């Protein structure tokens, strides 16, 4: 196992060790031990920067299920390294922040850090896996770990609701994504992302291209909270603030963006990819910014702002895919400005949003409230928090000299480039893209201004606070101050990361740019007086006017409605699922065994019949039939008569004897058709079964006579007849199909390989023990569970009035 694999597994190992650490070292905060892991991993990934700088990659493989093409392949290029640095770097700061935020005496720290490390490892697995199935496993682990983190305060109903919602929506998308992965495997014959990208031309010509793309995008949209799947993210705010700062700034919500960026070389270059990403991203950007304005809770504002910013990055990735529809390197570099802006804003968003979430947690921690209607005047009371907030909000609003201004200017540049794009039948429709993006930017500036003014300016309201407000302790301020410093540093010196992180990530998304010697990533705070700057000035003026006249429109019903109206669709849909499942359960779970068998039998008959008819599997022919001896006809007639006689027998003992006779006749047929092992097994089982039945029924009381309804009798007759007919028909058809196609019998394989591969001459035993060993083990496990259940029921002694 390589160091890269250990880097992915390190957080999981730490998650397993944290409970033991908490038990034996109680005087030390568990966070200090946890902090070692992300810090060490961050330093390790920093050491890989020279590799991506030289346009190289690292790939290490551990075989897992090679026969199915499933291997644990870790792959590092510019894109995966960028995300790995964000996951571990922000993770280290979040752990440091949580040490001072979470009270050691009041919180279950071992659970918190176990879930956090589990989530960190899962995210690293997502961004570093080259195999789609392994990526999917880590993908679903992120959903599980995030649900555990969101429901960390499980005593709160809202925490459970938020965890359930995030789990349902993201796992639903994950299942869709898995189906898309399977389609890609069906087209290419591989789960390797590198090999799939190499077969992009083959995929684009497949009839299954569009279904695969839509299913993969469904997984990405649900994870990255794109409209209308964004509703889970605001409810996830019930998690502790360190969780919110981690999940919504650098990790979970960025997983969908990573997937889109990683698979852009596979799906880009077609109009469907361009339009779906562009329109969904644009709608998410606009809806998220508008919804953030309506919020009264600091974390609520930041939650919807995250939705908006994620939409912005998704929009940029969609516009950047236009580079695949161009013929020249110059045009590709021109339209790749949007991709550069997406990667740049991905980094910027992690810095300013992480600091803002931590600031919101500090305000809540030190005042006891996050309601902006109860806050105000904190500028002089919490000066450090005020400074960090000012930097973060100004960056998110797109003001200089902070890093958010640079990515916002490039965002506008990408929008304006869309107007000049002539592919995908864009035409005059492209005008709506910069217009709506500009409107969304106005609301972005507005909610940043509202959050700042309502929290730090105005009059101080100590009577509405649960605690006496004061500045946070130095330990809690370290992480947001460091992130705020990055916001300023990356704004003043934007090219610090241009060649080291941004360009390798962009060339991983658009590989053709790596061959273009003229492609460079050059960032600047000031690009001169151009249309982008005019758009920024217009955004600031209109947003400040809306803020100034806020008293005139804050009484609108839309502003008063904090909860997203799409939540009603989710709630009604969930209620509908519950009610329909209850109806279905009442229909199915009748408590009668015959009903359960009826449902299963009908389902099997319908499924097998449909499949056989669709595939033409029903075959009737007597060309290959052998001559049947007369005594076999006689035995068959006796067998059929014995079966039919069961319908008219009313006494238990007689019925058991007749059933046993049928079993012995079956054993005789096995002997005739030269299967002595099966005949012996049948005789032994039939004998033991008859004895046990006779012993059991001899001691059981007689049941009262019941007159079965005619409809029930007819239903049972039809179902049992259909089952018998379909089984006989499929058995005959399978035999005849093998004869017509000259297929070799499967028994030949076992005859030839039983000794060599199984080490035995008894073919039946070898099949059961070796070739089907796992089935046999599971069957034994089922028998063991049944035996334990019987023992438990025998030992159970209920008192009068008790019920199981």
> DSSP string covering 616-673, please?
T------TTPPPPPHHHHHHHHHHHHHHHHGGG---HHHHHHHHHHHHHHHHHHHHHT
| pLDDT above 60 for 801 | no
User: Residue 61 phi/psi, 5° resolution?
Assistant: -125, 135
Residue 239 buriedness (CB in 10 A; 0-12 / 13-18 / 19+): buried
Give helix then strand counts, H and E, for the chain.
34, 2
Tell me what the mean pLDDT of segment 289-293 comes to: 93
Task: Quote the domain boundaries for residue 305.
Answer: 274-554
Instruction: Give the pLDDT confidence score for residue 419 in this predicted structure.
Output: 84
pLDDT tens-digit series, residues 497-530: 988 899 999 999 998 887 776 788 888 888 778 8
More confident residue, 625 or 699: 699
| 459 belongs to a structural domain | yes
Same domain, 292 and 423: yes
Q: 191 near 132, Cβ under 8 Å?
A: yes
393 and 521 share a domain?
A: yes
**In sequence order, what are the beta bridge partners of 71?**
63
Q: Which of 99-108, 171-180, 565-574, 794-803 has the highest mean pLDDT?
A: 171-180
Distance CA 686, CA 700 (A): 21
The reported pLDDT for the residue numbered 559 is 76
Distance CA 536, CA 345 (A): 16
Cβ(311)–Cβ(226) under 8 Å?
A: yes
DSSP assigned state of 513: G
Same domain, 523 and 612: no
Q: Are residues 404 and 472 in the same domain?
A: yes
Overall size of the chain counted in residues: 804
Q: Helix, strand or coil for residue 459?
A: coil
The answer as to whether 99 is a domain residue is no
More confident residue, 593 or 283: 283
**Is the pLDDT assigned to residue 802 strictly greater than 60?**
no
* % of the chain surpassing 70 pLDDT: 96
pLDDT confidence tier of residue 704, bands split at 50, 70 and 90: low
Measuring CA to CA, which residue among 99, 124, 437 is closest to residue 250?
A: 124
Confidence of residue 285 (pLDDT cuts 50, 70, 90): very high
Strand partners, 65: 70
Give the pLDDT confidence score for residue 453 in this predicted structure: 94
Could you read off the pLDDT of 421-471 as tens digits, one per residue?
Answer: 877 777 777 888 999 999 999 999 999 999 999 999 888 888 888 788 888
Q: State how far the Cα of 485 lies from the Cα of 42, in Å rounded to an integer.
A: 18
Query: Using CA atoms, how far apart are residues 6 and 15, in angstroms rounded to an integer?
Result: 14
Query: What pLDDT, in 10s, does the model give residues 645-671?
Result: 887 887 888 888 888 999 999 999 888
Quote the radius of gyration of the chain (alpha carbons, Å).
Answer: 33
Of 381, 385, 360, give the one whose Cα is nearest residue 371. Answer: 360
- Tell me how far apart the alpha carbons of residues 612 and 608 are, in angstroms, rounded to a whole number: 6
377 shares its domain with 499: yes
What confidence score (pLDDT) does residue 463 get? 82
What's the pLDDT score for residue 591?
A: 82
Q: Rounded to an integer, what distance in angstroms lies between the CA atom of residue 723 and that of residue 603?
A: 10
Q: Which of 643, 355, 327 is nearest to 487 (CA)?
A: 355
Q: Tokens 């092992």: give the residue.
A: 677
Residue 6 has which token pair? Answer: 């250990």
Using one digit for the tens of pLDDT, what is the confidence trace for 164-176?
A: 999 999 999 999 9
Whole-structure pTM value: 0.82
pLDDT band at 341 (very low <50, low <70, confident <90, very high): very high
* Cβ-proximal residues to 267 (8 Å cutoff; 6+ apart), any chain: 203, 209, 213, 216, 273
Look at residue 65 and tell me if it is in a domain. Answer: no
Question: Quick one: average pLDDT of 40-52?
Answer: 94
pLDDT, tens digit, 9 for 90 and up, residues 344-396: 999 999 999 999 999 999 999 888 888 898 998 899 899 999 999 999 999 99
- Predicted local distance difference test score (pLDDT) of residue 335: 83
Residues 77-82, mean pLDDT to the nearest whole number: 94
Whether residue 370 lies inside any domain: the answer is: yes
d(CA 477, CA 100): 9
DSSP assignments along 6-32, one per residue? HHHHHHHHHHHHHHHHHHH--SS-HHH
Above 80 in pLDDT, residue 107? Answer: no
Q: Which residues of 346-360 are buried (b: 16+ CB within 10 A; e: fewer)?
A: bbbbbbbbbbbbbbb
User: Do 646 and 781 fall within a single domain?
Assistant: no
**Residue carrying the six token digits 């035993």:** 765
Q: Which 8-state DSSP code applies to residue 371? A: B
Spatial contact of 642 and 665, defined as CB atoms under 8 Å apart: yes
- Regarding whether 356 and 309 lie in a shared domain, the answer is yes
pLDDT of res. 707: 66
Per-residue pLDDT, averaged over 685-710, amounts to 79
User: In this structure, is residue 527 part of a structural domain?
Assistant: yes
Q: First-to-last CA distance in the chain?
A: 50
Helix pair angle (531-548, 403-420), 10° resolution:
120
802 and 736 both lie in a single domain: no
Within-domain flag for 168: no
Query: What mean pLDDT do residues 137-166 have?
Result: 92
Same domain, 432 and 516: yes
Q: In this predicted structure, what is the pLDDT of residue 655?
A: 86
Residues 349 and 477 in one domain: yes
More confident residue, 763 or 668: 668
Task: Give the DSSP H/E element, type plus range, for residue 33.
Answer: helix 30-46
* 145 belongs to a structural domain: no
Residue 310 belongs to a domain: yes
List the structure tokens of 481. Answer: 């101050």
Predicted pLDDT of residue 302: 94
Domain termination residue (choose one: 704, 735, 770): 704
725 or 333: whose pLDDT is higher? 725
351 Cβ contact partners less than 8 Å away, ≥ 6 residues apart: 395, 403, 483, 486, 487, 490
The residue among 337, 270, 269 whose CA lies nearest residue 502 is: 337
pLDDT, tens digit, 9 for 90 and up, residues 242-284: 998 998 777 888 999 999 999 999 999 899 999 999 999 999 9
Neighbours of 641 (CB within 10 A): 9
Q: Which of 704, 728, 762 is the last residue of a domain?
A: 704
Please state the domain count of the chain. 4
Task: Read off φ and ψ for residue 73, nearest 5 degrees.
Answer: -105, 120
Q: So what's the pLDDT on residue 796? A: 77
Higher pLDDT, 636 or 514: 636
Extract the tokens encoding 237.
Answer: 């705010």
Count the Cβ atoms, other than its own, within 10 Å of residue 740.
12
Q: Which residue has the higher pLDDT, 491 or 529?
A: 491
Are 646 and 722 in a shared domain? no
Is residue 708's pLDDT more than 70? no
Are residues 726 and 757 both part of a single domain? no
Q: Above 90 in pLDDT, residue 625? A: no
């Amino acid at each position: 196992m390589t160091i890269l694999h250990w880097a992915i597994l390190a957080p999981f190992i730490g998650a397993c060790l944290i409970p033991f650490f908490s038990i034996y070292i109680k005087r030390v905060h568990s966070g200090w031990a946890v902090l070692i892991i992300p810090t060490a991993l961050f330093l390790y990934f920093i050491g890989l920067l020279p590799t991506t700088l030289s346009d190289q990659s690292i790939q290490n493989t551990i075989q897992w299920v090679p026969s199915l093409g499933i291997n644990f392949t870790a792959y590092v290029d510019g894109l995966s390294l960028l995300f790995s640095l964000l996951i571990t770097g922000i993770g280290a700061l979040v752990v440091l922040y949580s040490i001072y935020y979470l009270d050691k005496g009041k919180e279950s720290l071992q659970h918190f850090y176990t879930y956090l490390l589990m989530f960190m490892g899962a995210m690293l697995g997502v961004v570093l896996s080259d195999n789609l199935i392994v990526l999917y496993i880590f993908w679903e682990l992120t959903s599980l770990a995030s649900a555990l983190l969101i429901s960390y305060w499980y005593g709160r109903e809202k925490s459970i609701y938020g965890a359930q919602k995030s789990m349902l929506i993201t796992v639903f998308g994950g299942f869709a994504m898995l189906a898309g992965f399977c389609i890609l495997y069906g087209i290419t014959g591989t789960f390797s992302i590198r090999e799939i990208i190499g077969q992009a031309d083959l995929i684009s010509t497949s009839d299954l291209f569009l279904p695969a793309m839509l299913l993969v995008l469904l997984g990405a949209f649900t994870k990255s909270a794109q409209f209308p799947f964004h509703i889970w993210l605001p409810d996830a705010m019930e998690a502790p603030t360190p969780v919110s700062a981690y999940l919504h700034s650098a990790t979970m919500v960025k997983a969908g963006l990573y997937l889109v960026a990683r698979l852009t070389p596979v799906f880009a270059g077609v109009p469907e990819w361009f339009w779906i990403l562009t329109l969904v991203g644009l709608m998410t950007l606009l809806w998220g910014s508008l919804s953030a304005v309506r919020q009264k809770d600091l974390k609520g504002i930041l939650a919807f702002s995250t939705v908006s910013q994620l939409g912005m990055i998704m929009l940029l990735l969609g516009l950047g895919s236009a580079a695949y529809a161009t013929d020249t390197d110059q045009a590709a570099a021109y339209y790749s400005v949007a991709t550069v802006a997406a990667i740049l804003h991905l980094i910027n968003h992690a810095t300013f949003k992480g600091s803002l979430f931590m600031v919101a947690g500090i305000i809540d921690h030190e005042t006891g409230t996050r309601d902006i209607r109860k806050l105000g005047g904190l500028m002089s009371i919490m000066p450090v928090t005020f400074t960090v907030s000012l930097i973060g909000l100004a960056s998110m609003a797109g003001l200089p000299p902070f890093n958010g201004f640079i990515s916002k200017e490039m965002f506008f540049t990408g929008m304006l480039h869309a107007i000049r794009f002539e592919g995908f039948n864009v035409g005059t429709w492209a005008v709506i893209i910069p217009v709506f993006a500009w409107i969304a930017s106005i609301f972005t500036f507005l909610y940043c201004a509202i959050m700042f003014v309502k929290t730090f300016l105005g009059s101080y309201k100590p009577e509405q606070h649960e605690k006496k407000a004061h500045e946070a302790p130095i330990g809690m301020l370290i992480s947001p101050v460091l992130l705020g410093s990055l916001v300023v540093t990356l704004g003043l010196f934007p090219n610090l990361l241009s060649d080291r992180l941004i360009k390798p990530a962009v060339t991983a998304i658009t590989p053709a740019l790596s061959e273009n010697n003229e492609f460079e990533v050059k960032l600047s705070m000031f690009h001169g007086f151009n249309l982008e700057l005019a758009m920024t000035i217009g955004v600031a003026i209109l947003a400040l006017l809306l803020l100034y006249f806020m008293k005139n429109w804050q009484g609108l019903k839309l502003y008063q409605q904090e909860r997203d109206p799409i939540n009603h669709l989710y709630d009604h849909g969930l209620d509908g699922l519950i009610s329909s499942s209850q109806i279905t359960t009442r229909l199915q779970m009748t408590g009668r065994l015959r009903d359960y068998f009826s449902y299963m039998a009908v389902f099997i008959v319908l499924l097998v019949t449909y499949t056989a008819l669709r595939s033409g599997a029903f075959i009737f022919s007597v060309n290959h039939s052998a001559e049947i001896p007369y005594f076999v006809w006689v035995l068959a007639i006796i067998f059929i008569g014995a079966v039919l006689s069961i319908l008219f027998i009313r006494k238990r003992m007689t019925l058991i004897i007749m059933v046993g006779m049928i079993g012995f006749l079956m054993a005789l047929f096995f002997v005739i058709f030269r299967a002595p092992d099966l005949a012996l097994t049948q005789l032994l089982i039939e004998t033991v079964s008859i004895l046990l039945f006779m012993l059991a029924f001899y001691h059981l009381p007689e049941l009262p006579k019941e007159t079965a309804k005619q409809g029930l009798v007819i239903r049972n007759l039809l179902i049992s007849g259909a089952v018998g007919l379909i089984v006989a028909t499929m058995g005959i058809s399978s035999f005849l199909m093998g004869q017509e196609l000259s297929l070799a019998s499967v028994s030949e394989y076992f005859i030839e390989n039983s000794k060599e591969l199984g080490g035995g001459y008894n073919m039946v035993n070898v099949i059961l023990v070796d070739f089907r060993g796992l089935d046999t083990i599971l069957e034994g496990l089922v028998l063991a569970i049944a035996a334990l259940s019987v023992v438990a029921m025998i030992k159970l002694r209920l008192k009068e009035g008790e019920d199981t």
